[in-house]
Amino acid sequence: MDFSIETAVRRIGARIVVEPSSPLSRVSSITWDSRAVEQGGAFLALKGARVDGHDFAGAALAAGAALVIVTDDLPEQALAFAREAGCCIARVPDAQQALSALASAWREELSAHVVGVTGSVGKTTTRGLAAQVLSARFKTESTKGNFNNELGLPLTVLTAPKDCEALVVEMGMDGRGQIARLAAVARPERAIITNVGTAHLEYLGTRENIARAKAEIAEALPDGEGVAFLAADGEFTEFIIEHARLAERGIRVVRFGGEGHASDVYATEVAFDAEGRPTFVLHAQGESCACALKLRGAHNVQNACGAAAIGLSYGMSLPDVCHALAGAQAQAGRQALLRMPGGYRLLDDAYNASPESMAASLSVLSSFSTSGSRIAVLGDMGELGSASDAGHDSVGRAVAGAKIDALICVGPKSRRIAHAARAAGMDPARIQEVDDADAAREALSRIVRADDVVLAKASHCMGLSKLAEGAVD
């Protein structure tokens, strides 16, 4: 971002509490963390469940903030400091809405191609793959980490430089209307929905409602110009096309993955190396090209097809797309393979989990070639609502049907995984049930050997990332 203080205040509809000494001074950064305030930057005083940003306004002023945006009164001492420093204090009714308004204003200044990414499973990986592909042709920026909500997405837009040529933004959600609000800020011209799964059933009740929520990204595409990328074999693909009125609005639909006869971009001849990394032939626009990924699992072939479709839609050649895909790296907490003390390998996939992603990760673990054991450490899956029991049961059956030598279940909900695995024929002697991540680490230490491969997967709240602590590489 790059606004004058005067313009920033006007665009967020703020009331000035303390006048700036230089209204035309430029503000080129914003944060709600007082420790990250840059000299001459902006500080947003957010009120959270445990921390109130207003308590740190003084620290932000001391760090050199030129603009402090508040929703409540500040103490007179802070106001006096601001007057002396020439800092502007601006008050708004809602800090989050102010952030979105500022991001929307900056979006107007950007000429970049904007691609929106959402889906129940695989959106973060697909976002990374799409950014990797587009960076081979454009100066590309993308969402960092898990900044995919009402705070993270506006910040992603605001941190994009004006000369950015492509911007890939991830959009998460836990209810209807959230993606619509995010899309109103980002205004994507392309959008990909990776799939519609069971994550967020707790909030939305049915998969049809999840599909409606995900379809909001397609509804936001510009009529007659937008392009929607949908899974060729997606159970809700036709539902989304109809619900978002894509044909009526002149939105081009590109189908990816699945079988060739029903898909625009798809893979054949999929094979895996000893660590589950796929090679395949990518097909699109009547051409084909050999491709290899450093990411693991068949599900990432599907994600790669989606990312490839995005790159091809911007005129990239199929060989250039395949070359770019080959350079993509796994992200922390998403199937990164780590060497641990003692020599065993840990497949760290503990950032999040759903029944669909659990099945995909178990498939990856099964594909590993090892002289040791394959050990799955699986924890509770959250936000499944009424489908929680059935979801955990399905994972247990998947474990029993996979090439898994030992199972450690972590948390109260995962006890259903253990029960279902036993009911499906897995030897009870190979199954352990523990309460938390610390107990899981202790249980693992008693059975793991140097040549073993261990999968750690659960919803983020279970803290199974602890198992990755102390990694050698």
Residues 132 and 281 in one domain: yes
Rounded to whole angstroms, how far apart are CA atoms 156 and 162?
13
Same-domain pairing of 356 and 304: no
**CATH code, domain carrying 214:** 3.40.1190.10
CA distances from 464 to 48, 172, 380, 454 (A): 25, 22, 10, 12
φ, ψ of residue 416 in degrees (nearest 5): -70, -30
Task: State whether 297 and 185 are in the same domain.
Answer: yes
Per-residue pLDDT of 15-62, as tens digits, reads 999 999 999 999 999 999 999 999 999 999 999 889 999 999 999 999
Quick: pLDDT tens for 112-151.
999 999 999 999 999 999 999 999 999 999 999 889 999 9
From 327, 360, 382, give the residue that closes a domain. Answer: 327
Across 274-293, average pLDDT: 96
Using the Cα atoms of residue 325, residue 182, residue 232 and residue 264 in order, give the sign of their dihedral: negative
Domain span including residue 415: 336-468
Asked if 132 and 254 sit in the same domain, the reply is: yes
Q: Sign of the CA dihedral 357, 359, 360, 365?
A: positive
Same domain, 203 and 319: yes
Are 78 and 126 in the same domain? Answer: no
Residues 295 and 340 reside in one and the same domain? no
Cα distance between residue 423 and residue 431, in whole Å: 12
What pLDDT score was predicted for residue 160? 98
Establish if 105 belongs to a structural domain.
no
Same domain for 170 and 38: no
56/138 same-domain check: no
- The set of long-range contacts for 434-437, using a CB threshold of 8 Å and a minimum separation of 24, is 434/408, 434/409, 434/410, 435/410, 435/411, 436/410, 436/411, 436/462, 436/463, 437/379, 437/410, 437/462, 437/463, 437/464, 437/466, 437/467
Tell me the pLDDT band of 182, cut-offs 50, 70 and 90: very high
Q: Which residues pair with 30 in a beta bridge?
A: 42
Domain closes at, from 304, 327, 350: 327
pLDDT tens for residues 193-233? Answer: 999 998 888 889 999 999 999 999 999 999 999 999 999 99
Instruction: Give me the pLDDT at residue 259, please.
Output: 84
Count of domains forming the chain? 3
Domain check: are 282 and 322 in the same one?
yes
Task: Report if residue 104 sits inside a domain.
Answer: no
For the entire predicted model, the pTM comes to: 0.90
Biggest CA-to-CA distance, the chain: 74
Confirm whether 367 is domain-assigned.
Answer: yes
- How many residues appear in the chain? 473
The burial class, CB within 10 Å (0-12 / 13-18 / 19+), for 175 is exposed
C-alpha dist (Å) from residue 413 to 184, 354, 463: 37, 13, 15
* 245 pLDDT more than 80: yes
Here the CATH number for the domain that contains residue 354 is: 3.90.190.20
Of the residues 37, 68, 93, which one is the last residue of a structural domain? 93
CATH of the domain at 22: 3.40.1390.10
Flag whether pLDDT at 261 surpasses 90. Answer: no
Confidence band of 93 (pLDDT split at 50, 70, 90): very high
Mean pLDDT of the 380-387 span: 93
Is the pLDDT confidence value at 169 over 90? Answer: yes
